[in-house]
Structure 1
Amino acid sequence: MGEAVLFWVLAAVAVIGALGVVSAPKAVYSAISLAVTMIALAVLYIAQDAPFLGVVQVVVYTGAVMMLFLFVLMLIGVDSSESLVETLRGQRVSAIVVGVGFGVLLIAGIGTVSANGFTGLAQANRNGNVEGLALLLFTKYLWAFELTGALLITAALGAMVLAHRERFERRKTQRELAIERFAPGGHPTTLPNPGVYARHNAVDVPARLPDGRGSELSVSAILQLRPVPGDHGDEPGDGSRELR
């Protein structure tokens, strides 16, 4: 009774998370929904006497892959308008065909197993869950396991090739960079940070130089400069002046 209740509760959570992946308005929400689905599946694995699969599901997929997705989304961001543009012609039709084919294979596999009967967890895990899984992977399903590894390596190499940017100019040497830095109009030292010698840490407030003037170099060119704050009672010409 308890196992059935656990299954229906976790199954509902997994389905709701899967629906959230495809219906969430933002990519971050989709990633979090996918993480919820993976955690629900991990608990189901553990409940079915497969602790190794449950731990791998949490550590590898939820803990590593999903966190990598979230880091990428936070670093580069995803515009909602870009996700609606079909960059590859016919990709939606291909996705539908592949999805239908995968569904047919899944139904055929479940029907075959149902007709021939299940082996049973007690027999499969007679020497332990980890030992039984390793025995199947490296004996009966060794070829499929190796093909999966080759597929993952191919995907990683393809991502590297797609993300590679060809350099069309010769890379400057350290000497050339130093000459440009000390040339007229260059900056031999690093630019001052916003808020230095100031009473505000906003990025549009320029840094104050030792003589009280504001440094225009400390604020990005796309921002509008704000007045440099000064002490009450400062003499005219101190930091209370505004940048022009």
Structure 2
Amino acid sequence: MTEVNLGEEIVFWFSGGLAVLGALGLILSRKAVHSALWVALTMINLAVLYVANSAPFLGMVQVVVYTGAVMMLFLFVLMVVGVDSSDSLIETLKGQRLVAIVLAVGLAILLVAGIGAGLTDVVPVGLDEANGVDGGNVQGIARLLFTDYLVAFEVTSALLITAALGAMVLAHRERWLPRASQEELSKARFIGAGHPGNLPSSGTYARHNAVDTPALLPDGSPSAQSIPGPLVARGDVRPVDHHEVEQIESLGGGSK
């Protein structure tokens, strides 16, 4: 039986705990981006466990492929396609929650049975003997992938490609109306009830150029359209100091 030293136990419990924490965060997070980040935490700690168990190649693949490429792909898709929180409350397939619960319970039973068998019936021997047969961890994995598990490896590759194509098809949205031209957008802007031209810039008189300072109209009154709406709603608009305006007019010869 292989002896486990104190350092290995510390790495196992620390990285294993963080991996479980990331898995729980994936399930409990309300935002898809946060769930993806929790998955990244789990994958990184799994890579640490692989390296600690004399499988450095698997650890590097876990970081480069899954944590790097796959997770960045997930985040890219989430940012491009967008996920609305209201979409998660709509069942596109009837009974999918019941099926998900049944599958989750079945997976939990398999995990408990596998862990129980590993703790009782299996004698740990480590990876030194397995790595020594083919001259190293990388050589051993390559031999298994391209001999014993070649068909499963190729089927998995085809499945991943099919899943990627299916995701692109599902995320694609047909354009029902043609894209509006620049002329059509300009006409719509003048026909509508909004302001057709550019709004006056804020902070257009001397001594103040902040965004909360209103612009002055030709009669000296402040322009309400020059201040962003959120600042007006919060009451953060800087009042116009007419004494300063008079000083500026006197310096400029009385012209506004």
Query: TM-score with structure 1 length normalisation?
Result: 0.66
Match of 1:200 among 210, 214, 224: 210
Deviations 1:147-191 (A, max 9, x none): 11111112211111112121223456xxx53476479938xx995
Residue 66 of structure 2 corresponds to residue 61 of structure 1 = yes
Partner residue in 2 for 1:49: 54
Amino acid of the structure 2 residue aligned with 1:33: W
Partner residue in 1 for 2:182: 177
Q: Any residues of structure 2 matched to 1:84-233 within 5 Å, and which?
A: 84-103=89-108, 107=113, 121-126=127-132, 127-171=135-179, 177-178=182-183, 181=186, 185=190, 195=202, 197=204, 199-201=209-211, 216=225, 233=244
Contact persistence 2:211–2:227 (CA under 8 A) = no
Residue 240 of structure 2 corresponds to residue 234 of structure 1 = no
What is the distance in 1 between the residues matched to 2:233 and 2:148? 67
Deviations 1:119-149 (A, max 9, x none): 8523432322222222222221111111111
Q: Structure 2, unaligned stretches of length 5 or more?
A: 250-256
Match of 1:33 among 12, 32, 38: 38
Q: Greater relative contact order (Cα 8 A, min sep 6): structure 1 or 2?
A: 2
Query: TM-score with structure 2 length normalisation?
Result: 0.63
What is the distance in 1 between the residues matched to 2:116 and 2:62? 22
Contact persistence 2:200–2:225 (CA under 8 A) = no
Q: Hey, which of these two has a bigger chunk of helix by percent?
A: 2
Deviation, 1:196, is: 7.8
What is the distance in 2 between the residues matched to 1:105 and 1:5? 27
Per the alignment, do residues 168 and 142 of structure 1 end up closer, same or farther by CA in structure 2, a change over 3 Å counting? same
What is the distance in 2 between the residues matched to 1:193 and 1:133? 67
Contact persistence 2:54–2:128 (CA under 8 A) = no
Partner residue in 2 for 1:242: none
What is the distance in 1 between the residues matched to 2:152 and 2:203? 60
What is the distance in 2 between the residues matched to 1:143 and 1:4? 37
Contact persistence 2:217–2:223 (CA under 8 A) = no
Amino acid of the structure 1 residue aligned with 2:47: A
Superposition RMSD in Å? 4.5
Residue 22 of structure 2 corresponds to residue 12 of structure 1 = no
What is the distance in 2 between the residues matched to 1:193 and 1:150? 58
Per the alignment, do residues 86 and 100 of structure 1 end up closer, same or farther by CA in structure 2, a change over 3 Å counting? same
Per the alignment, do residues 184 and 47 of structure 1 end up closer, same or farther by CA in structure 2, a change over 3 Å counting? closer
How many residues are paired up?
226
Contact persistence 1:46–1:53 (CA under 8 A) = yes
Per the alignment, do residues 26 and 111 of structure 1 end up closer, same or farther by CA in structure 2, a change over 3 Å counting? same
- Report the secondary structure of 1:56's partner residue: helix
Q: Structure 1, unaligned stretches of length 5 or more?
A: 239-244
